[in-house]
Amino acid sequence: MRFTKMFIPTIKDAPKDAEVISHQMMIRAGMIRKVASGIYNFLPLGLRVLKKVENIVREEMNRAGAQEVLMPMVVPSELWQESKRWDVYGKELLRLKDRHDRDFCLGPTHEEVITDMVRRDVRSYRQLPLNLYQIQTKFRDEIRPRFGLMRGREFIMKDAYSFHASEECAEREYKNMYETYLRIFERCGLRFKAVEADTGQIGGSFSHEFMVLAETGEDAIASCNKCKYAANVEKAETKIQGQGASVKGQEKTLTKVSTPNMKSVEEVSGFLKVSPQALIKTLIYDSDKGGFAVLLRGDYEINETKLKKHADAEWVRLADDETVKKITNAPSGFAGPVGLKCGIIADYSIQNVVNGVTGANEKDAHFVNVNIDRDFKADKFADLRNVVQGDDCPRCDGKLEIMRGIEVGHIFKLGTKYSETMNAVFLDENGKEKPFIMGCYGIGIGRTAAASIEQNHDKDGIIWPMPLAPFHVHIVPVNVNDKKVMDAAENIYKDLEGAGIEILVDDRDERAGIKFKDADLIGIPIRLTIGSKNLENNMVEMKLRKEANALLVNRAEIVEKIKNFKS
């Protein structure tokens, strides 16, 4: 492809709203343009990368035995009402009406449509198992679209859904997809980790997220430094310290102290000159089951995913000031368990706190020397906190490390969640009606491309790994007005093309410096610079984007050399 014939509007400066590298670079390299918040145009270079990711995903899904289908983006509300998600999905679901005033939505995910598709035509266990996938545009009206393709509102996803007659078969397919995802992300040249993820109400241990490791990732991951344990921090556990075996020190007398305007853990611990570990943080929560208190050690953070599970609630959220006042008789910031008249769930971490500090349920007052059992009781102890760097691994004697990741893929065993509510059944060997057992498996196509840039770039631009690069080779003829140079460029182009290599040739009448800058920005893995001096010796300069130094290659050896790099 010739640069002059291709629409590659590179620009010098990234727009102000581009916070992360991948977003900045994709705009600067002329790959994407914003149409509206979270909605993008893909320009030719950007689309080529998207297709590279898509093709790897498609090849590996097909190899794994899945079949490609295509479902509509506009989905009638009836299906979503059947699954009961029409009312609970909230504002991420973009709803619209047609000319007859019928309700529709833009599909943010397709469990309903596929379950409907399969229940209509699959009657017998003999037609199972099935794994159907599509690569299609999704719409989610994200509350904070940002980071370019990373969190868009309109984005392309590969979503697969499998249908089975038995649990064993569903679990076999889950493993098959797990292996397939490993292959896909390895082929994309990413550094990633498969981590255990929360399964919500469905429970069980069949949910993994595939996380590309990058500082800018929105997810925190806990990973053992010794064994293979790795989990999203939402789900990660540690060995339970102190459970039932707390070593009590000398208990001192419970005393109320004045703490004017001291509310946060930092303020109170600073004011009383105690470490945050001595504080028993008391959070008042609201839920569908009413208000309750949550206790955890001052230096830890609450994990609401775990809390929701242990509180057995549909939803939980920090109570507003009014509710806090009603429950504790005090303004927010002074809640404590002593004398509190509501249910209390406590994190295991407070079992070891001796002579702790808590709010006194009174404005500007705290208690010191608070001791569990003597001064208050918890209704229930549970694991409610986020793990932190250095926590014990729950599986071995290693330690947990916390790192950041970008979720590019997610696999999940759904069980009969959708088939039961939507009455999607088949006849088993005994002629008995049974709901399908399902799994679902997603990959963000654009997010995968963006994640690759987060891992592979330098200050000058993108450094594409060969499998995702828009082209394999970038030819830069130094002077387009020199016929010898252009003839050589043309011949090399033809030779490479014949060997199945994808080439962009910068035939613009520009200074070499400008062309090199754009080449670095666009990030094609191999650059060939063709200049008259080297040509006299039958040589061409070859430079790998990821390396600083160039080397001279004999013209006759170029194709072989590049073929080696490509594979």
Q: Which residues bind ligand ATP (CB under 6 A)?
A: 109, 140, 142, 151-152, 155, 157, 407-410, 442-444, 446-447
- Write down the least CB distance from residue 218 to ligand ATP, Å: 6
At 19, is the secondary structure helix, strand, or coil?
coil
d(CA 283, CA 334): 10
* Count, residues in the chain: 567
Q: Of 157 and 279, which CB lies nearer to Mg ion in the complex structure?
A: 157
CA angle (475, 44, 518) in 5-degree steps: 40
- Least distance (Å) from Mg ion to the CB of residue 423? 27
Q: Which is nearer to ligand ATP, 446 or 470 (CB)?
A: 446
Minimum CB separation of residue 74 from ligand ATP in Å reads 19
The distance of closest approach from Cβ of residue 147 to ligand ATP in the complex, given in angstroms and rounded to an integer, is 9
Two tokens at 162?
């499998």
- N- to C-terminal Cα separation, the chain: 21
The residues near 527 (Cβ < 8 Å, ≥ 6 apart) are 473, 474, 475, 476, 516, 519, 542, 543, 544, 545
Nearer to ligand ATP, 39 or 551 (CB): 39
Residue 447, contacted partner among Mg ion, ligand ATP, none, CB below 5-8 A by kind: ligand ATP
Minimum CB distance to ligand ATP, residue 446 (Å): 6
Structure tokens at 119: 């229940």
Residue 151 near Mg ion by CB under 5 A: no
State how far Cα 24 lies from the chain centre: 19
Q: Which is nearer to Mg ion, 281 or 447 (CB)?
A: 447
CB of 197 to Mg ion, least distance (A): 7
Gap between the Cα atoms of 22 and 447, Å rounded: 10
Q: Tell me how far, at minimum, the Cβ of 233 lies from ligand ATP, in Å.
A: 13
SS3 310: helix
Beta bridge mates, 529: 476, 541
Q: Which stretch binds Mg ion (CB under 5 A): 28-36, 159-167, 409-417, 431-439?
A: 409-417
Nearer to ligand ATP, 152 or 467 (CB): 152
Q: Please, which residue, 193 or 410, has the CB nearer to Mg ion?
A: 410
Whole-angstrom distance, CA of residue 566 vs CA of residue 526: 9
Out of Mg ion, ligand ATP, none, which partner does residue 164 contact, by CB within 5 to 8 A per kind?
A: none
Q: Which does 157 bind (CB under 5 to 8 A by kind): ligand ATP, Mg ion, none?
A: ligand ATP
84 secondary structure, DSSP code:
T
Say which residues have a Cβ less than 8 Å from residue 177's Cβ, sequence separation at least 6.
64, 131, 160, 162, 411, 439, 441
Which of residues 138 and 297 has its CB atom nearest to Mg ion in the complex?
138
Nearer to ligand ATP, 53 or 350 (CB): 53
505 phi and psi, to 5 degrees? -115, 125
Among Mg ion, ligand ATP, none, residue 110 binds (CB under 5-8 Å by kind): none
Decide: 454 and 20 in contact? Cβ < 8 Å. Answer: yes
- Candidates 48, 297, 385, 410; binder of Mg ion (CB under 5 A) is 410
Is the N-terminal amide bond of 477 cis, ω within 30° of 0?
Answer: no
Please state the closest distance from residue 154 (CB atom) to Mg ion, in A: 18
Chain residue at closest Cβ approach to Mg ion = 410
Pair of tokens at residue 439: 């799994």
Cα dist from 237 to 158, 296, 312, 556, whole Å = 30, 15, 18, 59
Q: Name the minimum Å distance from CB 408 to ligand ATP.
A: 5
Establish how many alpha carbons lie within 13 A of residue 50's alpha carbon, considering only the half-sphere containing its beta carbon: 24
**Are the C-beta atoms of residues 292 and 381 closer than 8 Å to each other?**
no
Shortest Å distance, C-beta 243 to Mg ion: 31
Minimal CB distance residue for ligand ATP: 444
409 binds, among Mg ion, ligand ATP, none (CB under 5 to 8 A by kind): ligand ATP
In angstroms and rounded to an integer, the radius of gyration of the C-alpha atoms of the chain is 29
Pick from ligand ATP, Mg ion, none: which does 152 bind, CB < 5 to 8 A by kind?
ligand ATP
Q: What are phi and psi of 212, to 5 degrees?
A: -85, 125
Pairing of strands 457-458, 461-462: antiparallel
Distance, CA of 507 to CA of 2 (rounded, Å): 6
Cβ closest to ligand ATP, residue 410 vs residue 417: 410
Q: Identify what 18 binds: Mg ion, ligand ATP, none; CB under 5 to 8 Å per kind.
A: none
Q: Which CB sits closer to Mg ion, 12 or 144?
A: 144
| Amino acid in position 358 | T
In contact, 466 and 198? CB cutoff 8 Å: no
- In the list Mg ion, ligand ATP, none, the entry touching 408 (Cβ below 5 to 8 angstroms by class) is ligand ATP
Q: Please, what is the minimum distance in Å from the beta carbon of residue 159 to ligand ATP?
A: 7
Which of 213/280 has CB closer to ligand ATP?
A: 213
Using the contact rule CB under 5 A, the part of the chain among 255-263, 402-410, 443-451, 533-541 near Mg ion is 402-410
Distance CA 72, CA 508 (A): 42
Our CB check for ligand ATP shows the closer of 135 and 384 to be 135
Q: Total number of residues binding Mg ion (CB under 5 A)?
A: 1
Q: How far is the CB of 288 from ligand ATP (least distance, A)?
A: 22
Contact residues for Mg ion (CB under 5 A)?
A: 410
